[in-house]
A and B are shown apart, each in its own frame.
Chain A
Amino acid sequence: MNLRFSLLASLFLALAACTEKQAKVDFNTQIKPIINKRCITCHGGVKRNADFSLLFREDALDTAESEKLPIIPGDPDNSELIRRLQLTDPEERMPYKEQPLAKEEIDLLRKWIKEGAPWGRHWAYRPVVNPELPEQPSFLSGFWPTSSQEGNEIDLFVNAKLKELDWEANDPAEPAVRLRRAYMDIIGLPPTREEATAFLNDPTRENYEKIVDQLLASPRFGEKWASWWLDMARYADTKGYERDVYRNLWRYRDYVIRAFNSDMPFDQFTIEQLAGDLLPHPTEDQFIATGFHRNTMNNDEGGTEDEEFRVAAVIDRVNTTMEVWQSTTFGCVQCHSHPYDPFRHEEYYKVMAFFNNSRDEDTEGEHPNLRFYEEKDQQKVNELLNWMSQQRGASSHDKVEKFVRLTEPKYHPHVFDQFVNGELIDTKWLGIRSGGSARIRGIDLTGKSFMLFHYRTSDTGGTLQVRKDDLKGEVIVNMQLDSTRRRKTIAIPIKSVQGSHDLYFVFSNPRIHPDKVVADVEWIAFQEDVFNDPAQFQRYLELLNAKVDNTPVMVENDSSQKRPTFVFERGNWLVHGKEEKPAVPAYLNPIPAGAPLNRLGFAQWLMSQDNPLTARTVVNRVWEQIFGSGLVETLEDFGTQGATPSHPALLDWLSSQLMNEYKWSLKRLIKQMVMSETYGRDSHATPEQREKDPVNKWLARGPSFRLTGEQLRDQALAVSGLLSDKMYGKSVMPFQPEGVWQTVYSDEKWTLSSGEDRHRRSVYTFQKRTSPYPSMITFDGSSREVCQVRRIRTNTPLQSLLTLNDPVYLEAAGALAEKMIASSASVDDQIRDGYRRLMFMDIREDKLKALRKLYDSSLAAFVKDQPGRKGVELQAMQLVASALFNLDEVIVKQ
């Protein structure tokens, strides 16, 4: 309703302006809203009824099915569009079977066509320009920027708008409120009492700034902002789908925390996550960063087709990338041209072509994985690689390094076909019975001298023959398969063969039951002997069999495994249309000169200064984290169906600063926001203010909204002194009620962590997609199944039950009550102390009275229930502390 209302309002304002000034018609604010509302459903990207579409100018000017010209620039009288809008016959008049357009609307369209029917660019697709700062409003003149007392450039934009509306801004909030706000927003935790006291004794702007700088430098900063990013990255500790078992991707979460803490520039942060593997000689961290897109779900259910879910993962990567960096609802274009925005159906697949050549193929082992060796083995890796680079040169070194780190490139069993007496076991592993065979197609054997074979069997006596070109063809491999204890990689010599061939793998073992498979095979790889040294080769094989820890990463296909990308007709992955090569959407900035046509080039394109969407998107998302609502309310959609910016010049100014002045530093962006006077305003609203601006769009008041599940839990742990400051590592399992996890086909269990791991910050809590942690999901946390850019803040009774009765909160209330009791002999002072620990100010006497009443009645009840028992005071105070955790002012950042 807001949107429609504002469209109408802007139309009305525009009309008024137009008649007054006789200005030219503006496509974006005057024409596009009419088209979107009245025309585009039938004449747009989804439907092109009568072969007429208003999405692109060239389409709209082109002859329609009627062979008439819908729009003739400069000539409204002969434009079919105008004629059809004015007819009386309901069969012919447009919009078909709907209310006719208002006369004013038709006049506007006429005038626009008369003026040449120019197609405007929607605000979000125009380049970011650095706007002039608004003039200092006269009532503030001399106040800023000469003085450093309050505020900064943000306030110039906000105040100019308020002045235009003739509204007064609220006064600054109490120092205690501003302090808590800054702590909660920057590090997600309240200040300690000492920190609070130090500031409140001398709450100058200088001291405030000092605190802001300290908070931005705190290791807690990354932990807070990681939660924001991980919702978008859809990070979880499980794979999703039916089995939803463990995924070892916590190093990616730690990467995000470290990146935020070190204020890694956002362009580098982007490039490493989207294409770290494609950077020259990627570091371990750059590989781990690519976990961003390994957060897609992986389907392990028996019988599922790996290719189907590989494609689903690639589609998710395209949609997520466009949503996270471009605020663009690109998912629409998967099935048809965008209904409202200037993206064509095939462009989806051009973008997909950037993402369609990573090695991952929905395998159970989540290949490719980055391997983490134990220390002694890492030593051997280093020695081997040193030897390689000294003795064999860079190219051989790189091949060995890639395989030792990533075991890539390799082939998975699902590429086999023509199974005889065998199959893919559980659609995962190659399992062929004695006498059976399977085929792999088109393997280039030129220069290859051995095959790596990763398998398992409990039987002795098995053999593998590989025959060339057909089942009876030349034997190029003949190998005994020894029994293995666990999965094992062996190297099998191959006869020297030139060119590409289909290979037939024939297994036999006359000693085993005919129902049993000879071996189960997880992967194979064909390699050349770059060692030419048996000892080094032996070391290589040992390392491939070493015990390692793994984390999924991105690795690009080499030329032998390149996949073509096709348009999926109506989005169906089985119905292929035309082949597409990588290209960025034509309507946006071109890909930078010299950028490669792969994920790296795509990431460079996103971060190019010419990309109109990236900086605006980042500014808007960070703004929403701090102010509660974006400058563009629809965080997920900057398209023509999204909201328009409330302060377009401010959005552009901040975007320009982010790129040019802050060099993509998010800490500087955040600092700019929290140092503004706008941010520091009192959030209270009179009924009149609320009536005029219910959602605080014009920022006359300070931000106030409910804390997240993470902030609430962390706050309770921090204030009660329970919070552990241990960072990083595997996800932890704090208390969770029995029976929340009931997973099928898996014996994984929620095992309560021990010691301080029960009280770690919420960002370290184990995230299971099909069974999210209750105290996060109840407060609108993401289940992390798909990318989520905005948490809608609900207010439900289940939240009340949680903060009242969750043992985590009860334990915290107990610990807080002890501190309260220790603080003074007077009960009133004890309650004052508890309130102050949470709110950093004195409790109002009438509120104190209410809590004191609770204490007295609880104490009386406990005494009655447990006559003579000691410690009833603590029990009563625990209820008071529990009530404190449930106060609106504690749950809300005000």
Chain B
Amino acid sequence: MDPIGKYHLQSITRRHFLWETAAGIGGAAFGSLLGGCSHQRNPIQMALDPMAARAPHFPAKAKSVIYLHMAGAPSQLELFDYKPVLEKLHGQPCPPSFLEGKKFAFIRGVPKMLGPQATFRQRGQSGAWISDHLPHLASIADEISFVKCVATDQFNHGPAQLYVHTGVPRLGRPSIGSWVTYGLGTENSDLPGFVVLTSGGKTPDAGKSVWGSGFLPSVYQGVQCRTQGEPVLYLNDPEGVSREMKKHVVDAISEVNYKHFEESGDPETLTRIHQYELAYRMQISVPEVMNINDEPAAMHELYGTQPGKSSYANNCLLARKLVEKGVRFVQLFDWGWDSHGTDEGNAIDIGFRNKCREIDRATTALILDLKQRGLLDETLVVWGGEFGRTPMQENREGKTMPFLGRDHHVENFTVWMAGGGIKKGVTYGETDEIGYYPVSGKVSVHDLQATILNQLGFDHEKLTYEFQGRPFRLTDVAGKVIKEIVT
């Protein structure tokens, strides 16, 4: 009998033994997982199999999340928040009342108002406003709920991205994907529970901390799967080593480790045997799921994917494949949305339009594809940036800029969600006539996080972790579920 198979058989005794006793040193550390949700989470089980699927606090609407983050912060005023009055005010100096006591990242002195640089229409039955920049998305407006007045208090990219993804604008806290995998585990033990895909050539401004596990055990950090090179670091076997040879290697390691376990009695040794087996399986399962070459032509047509390239479209298709395989949280970052107008690439009427073209078809395809596979109901799709853009034209250092651009805006920005128990065709929240301040339905970043956790079956106040002597949670000390958009 091959050694790996033998250990599977033995795992029954092993589990019995371990459950009856307790885990090794890791178990002690996991003891603090008990935090605020002791009714569910057995620290020993967590230590032995930290990714085992677990039930949330109450029945969930969504089983998994695909979070599409447009890093750099796309302009809501060119996409979803239509402001005809702003059009009329185009080119006029900004009234002083909007500037008093305000701080901007780059605007200085008195900037001019900048009318929408897009044509808007109402779409579908719901009549949601979507500009011509997103013609494909416009065709599925009725699948989506728009949250128009998400407010943040961070007007710099790094802190604002951390705020959206970790609940605090500083480094060191776990990201939302880490919280979710900590809470739920994963349904496919051959794949990581939390996968990160990036496009646009850069990682987000706040770096890997936006998918870090903070003080949670590192097993919950996002695993960046790359679309070029090795999909996961060190996944590929060295040159000249076949799968079969690798199997011999892992078998030999496991066999020696098992003999060692017989002497030492350390349950961590058994866990290690298990992890080597999993690593070996991941070497097959990850490249398999990350390979889009064999997708039918119709799929490539739908998404606009080009195998072998690193692109947002490829990442959307991968996201669908990953949730289909049971991955819990897929985080996409697309870089290049910071439309200041300092050059053509970030001009609101040029570079920004091109970015919209890059994502429109694939984003729409993702929703349609999930729907046709019956996955949309159990997959929550979230789209947004880290803040909004100003209704004024940026005038960096008080000067006229070479291209049209907008500065960072914290008062309101648009985030949309679809699937996973989100109502269809709702527009929640309204901004004033120039899109400067919320008029109704203002929500915070923490509200957004509370809502995402709610769809997954969590009371965001109870998903906690004990650290430095107190329980921490994603939503810090705030957060209310946005009831208006959930079914």
B198 touches A (CB below 8 Å): yes
Query: For chain A residues 282-326, which have a beta carbon within 8 Å of chain B?
Result: 297, 299, 301-305, 312, 323
Contact yes or no, A850 B21, CB < 8 A: no
Query: Within 8 Å of chain A (Cβ to Cβ): is B399?
Result: yes
Q: Is the CB of A794 within 8 A of B50?
A: yes
B15 at the interface (CB under 8 A from A): no
Stretch at the interface among B92-100, B175-183, B263-271: B263-271
Q: Is the interface of A mostly helix, strand, loop or mixed?
A: loop
Give the CA-CA distance A726 to B352 in the complex, in Å.
Answer: 51
Instruction: State how many angstroms separate the Cβ of B327 from the closest Cβ of chain A.
Output: 14
Q: List 8 A-B contacts (CB under 8 A).
A: A423-B398, A628-B25, A691-B22, A695-B22, A777-B218, A795-B271, A804-B234, A850-B3
When distances are taken between beta carbons in the complex, the residues of chain B under 8 Å from A691 are: 20-22
Residues of A within 8 A of B294 (CB): none
Which 5 pairs across A and B sit closest by C-beta, in order of nearness?
Answer: A770-B207, A242-B158, A303-B105, A329-B469, A694-B22
Given known A-B contacts A687-B265, A739-B228, A792 and B26 have beta carbons under 8 A apart: yes
> Which residue of chain A is the closest to B23 with respect to CB atoms?
A694
A303-B155, A332-B469, A641-B469 known; A792+B217 contact, CB < 8 A: yes
B470, A332: Cβ atoms closer than 8 Å: yes
- B229 and A739: CB pair below 8 A? yes
Are B242 and A865 touching (Cβ within 8 A)? Answer: yes
- Cβ-defined contact, B248 with A695, below 8 A: no
Which B residues between 403 and 435 are near A, CB-CB below 8 angstroms? 408
Chain A residues closer than 8 Å to B480, beta-carbon distance: none
Q: Is B157 in contact with chain A by the CB < 8 A criterion?
A: yes
- B398 near A421 with CB under 8 A, answer yes
* Chain B residues, CB < 8 A from A792: 26, 29, 217-218
Is A642 interfacial (CB 8 A cutoff)? Answer: yes
Taking the closest CB of chain B, its distance from the CB of A231, in whole angstroms, is 13
Query: Which residues in A have their C-beta under 8 angstroms from that of B104?
Result: 303
CB pair B397–A423 under 8 Å, yes or no, is yes
Q: Are B259 and A800 in contact (CB under 8 A)?
A: no
| CB of B484 closer than 8 Å to a CB of A | no
Interchain CB contact under 8 A, B28 and A879: no
Decide: A302 near B106, CB < 8 A? Known: A785-B172, A795-B26: yes
| Contact B276–A737 (Cβ < 8 Å) | no
| Residue A241 CB within 8 A of the other chain | yes
- CB-CB contacts of A834-855 with B at 8 A, as 1s and 0s? 0000000000101100110110
Instruction: Name the CB-closest residue of B to A308.
Output: B159
Contacting residue for B259 out of A629, A738, A801, A844, CB 8 A: A844
For B208, list chain A residues within 8 Å (CB).
Answer: 770-772
Give B408's nearest chain A residue, CB to CB: A303
> Which of A340, A636, A786, A795 counts the most B-chain CB atoms under 10 A from its CB?
A795
Q: A689: which B residues are within 8 A, CB to CB? A: 265
* Measured CA separation A639–B219 after assembly (Å): 28
**Residues 101-154 (chain B) with a chain A CB within 8 angstroms:** 103-106, 108
Q: Does B230 reach chain A (CB closer than 8 Å)?
A: yes
Q: Considering the complex, which residues of chain B in the window 313-347 have a beta carbon less than 8 Å from any beta carbon of chain A? A: 335
Cα A802 to Cα B276 with chains together (Å):
11
Pair B230/A303 contact, Cβ less than 8 Å: no
Residues of B within 8 A of A889 (CB): 260
Contact of B27 among A242, A694, A744, A770 (CB under 8 A): A694
User: CB distance B206 to A242 under 8 Å?
Assistant: yes
With the chains together, A142 CA to B108 CA distance in Å? 83
The answer for the CA separation of A696 and B108 in the assembled complex, in Å, is 63
Interface size on B, residues (CB 8 A): 98
B194 CB → nearest A CB, Å: 12
Which residues of B have CB within 8 Å of A1?
31, 34, 38, 43
CB <8 Å contact, A301 and B237: no
CA distance A858 to B243 in the complex (A): 11
Interface assignment of A891: CB less than 8 Å from any CB of chain B: yes
A residues near B470, Cβ cutoff 8 Å: 329, 332, 339, 641
* Contacts beyond the supplied A244-B207, A301-B156: 18 A-B pairs with Cβ under 8 Å: A1-B34, A2-B31, A241-B159, A303-B155, A305-B103, A690-B22, A691-B20, A737-B234, A742-B198, A744-B205, A796-B218, A798-B232, A798-B279, A801-B233, A804-B234, A847-B256, A854-B248, A875-B240
The answer to whether B279 and A801 have CB atoms under 8 Å apart is yes
Q: Which residues of A contact B219 (CB under 8 A)?
A: 794, 796
Interface residues of A (CB under 8 A from B): 1-4, 240-242, 244, 297, 299, 301-305, 312, 323, 329, 331-332, 339-340, 421-423, 425, 431, 515, 517, 628-629, 633-634, 636-637, 639, 641-642, 683-687, 689-691, 694-696, 704-706, 737-740, 742-745, 769-772, 774, 777-778, 780, 783, 785-786, 792-802, 804-807, 810, 844, 846-847, 850-851, 853-854, 857-858, 861-862, 865-866, 875, 879-880, 882-883, 886-889, 891-892, 894
Rounded to whole angstroms, the CA-CA distance of A420 and B218 in the bound complex is: 51
Q: A628-B25, A771-B207, A805-B238 are in contact. Are A800 and B276 (CB under 8 A)?
A: yes
What is the CA–CA distance of A850 and B6 in the complex, to the nearest angstrom?
Answer: 14
> Given A1-B34, A242-B158, do A695 and B252 touch, yes or no (CB 8 Å)?
no
CB contacts (< 8 Å) of A780 on chain B: these are 217-218
Asked if B157 and A879 sit within 8 Å, CB to CB, the answer is no
By beta carbon, the residue of chain A nearest B51 is: A796
Chain B residues near A (Cβ < 8 Å): 3, 17, 20-29, 31, 34, 38, 43, 50, 103-106, 108, 155-159, 170-172, 198, 201-209, 212, 217-219, 223, 226, 228-230, 232-238, 240-242, 244-246, 248-253, 255-257, 259-261, 263-269, 271-273, 275-276, 278-279, 282-283, 335, 397-399, 408, 468-470
The reply to whether A301 and B171 contact each other, CB–CB distance below 8 Å, is no
A737 touches B105 (CB 8 A): no
Q: How far is the CB of A613 from chain B (nearest CB, A)?
A: 14
Cα–Cα distance between A796 and B282 once the two chains are bound (Å): 12
- Shortest beta-carbon distance from A339 to chain B in Å: 7
* Residues in chain A near residue B212, CB distance under 8 A: 783
- With A329-B469, A886-B253, A894-B264 in contact, do A742 and B171 touch (Cβ < 8 Å)? no
Determine the chain B residues whose CB is within 8 A of the CB of A879 once the complex forms. 241, 245, 248-249
> A302-B106, A800-B279 given as contacts; is B253 within 8 A of A744 (CB)?
no
Chain A positions within 8 Å of B273 at CB level: 888
Which residues of the other chain, B, contact A882 by a CB distance below 8 angstroms? 249
Is A887 in contact with B234, judged by CB distance below 8 angstroms? no
Q: Which of A297, A641, A786 has the most CB of B within 10 A?
A: A786
Q: What is the minimal beta-carbon distance from B33 to any residue of chain A, in angstroms? A: 9
Considering the chains assembled together, what is the distance between the CA atoms of A865 and B251 in angstroms?
A: 21
**Cβ 8 A contact of B240, one of A778, A844, A854, A862:** A862
Residues of A close to B217: CB separation below 8 A: 780, 792, 794
Is A770 a contact of B206 with CB atoms below 8 Å? yes
CB-defined contacts of B31 to chain A, threshold 8 Å? 1-3
Query: Which one of A241, A422, A886, A887 contacts B260 once the chains associate, using CB atoms below 8 Å?
Result: A887
Closest-CB distance, B171 to chain A (whole angstroms): 4
Pick the contact of A684: B106, B229, B253, B264 (CB < 8 A). Answer: B264
> Which of chain A's residues have a CB closer than 8 A to the CB of B469?
329, 332, 340, 634, 636-637, 639, 641-642
Closest beta carbon of chain A to B287's beta carbon, Å? 12
Question: A854 CA to B282 CA in the complex, in Å?
Answer: 21
Report B-chain residues with C-beta under 8 Å of the C-beta of A742.
198, 201-203
Given A737-B229, A783-B212: A323 and B237 interface contact (C-beta under 8 Å): no
Given the complex, which residues of A lie within 8 Å of B240, measured CB to CB? 862, 865-866, 875
With CB as the reference atom, state the residue of chain B lying closest to A814.
Answer: B238
Residues of B within 8 A of A875 (CB): 240
Q: How far is the CA of A879 from the CA of B250 in the complex (A)?
A: 10
Most chain B beta carbons < 10 A, residue from A639, A690, A705, A865 = A690
Could you tell me the distance in whole angstroms from the C-beta of A397 to the nearest C-beta in chain B? 42
Q: Compute how far the CA of A787 lies from the CA of B181 in the bound complex, rounded to whole angstroms.
A: 25
Our pick among B50, B203, B252, B408 for the contact of A853 (Cβ within 8 Å) is B252
CA distance A489 to B46 in the complex (A): 60
Q: Contact check: which of A685, A744, A846, A862 meets B203 at CB < 8 Å? A: A744
Give complex CA distance A892, B248 in Å.
22
CA distance A793 to B217 in the complex (A): 8
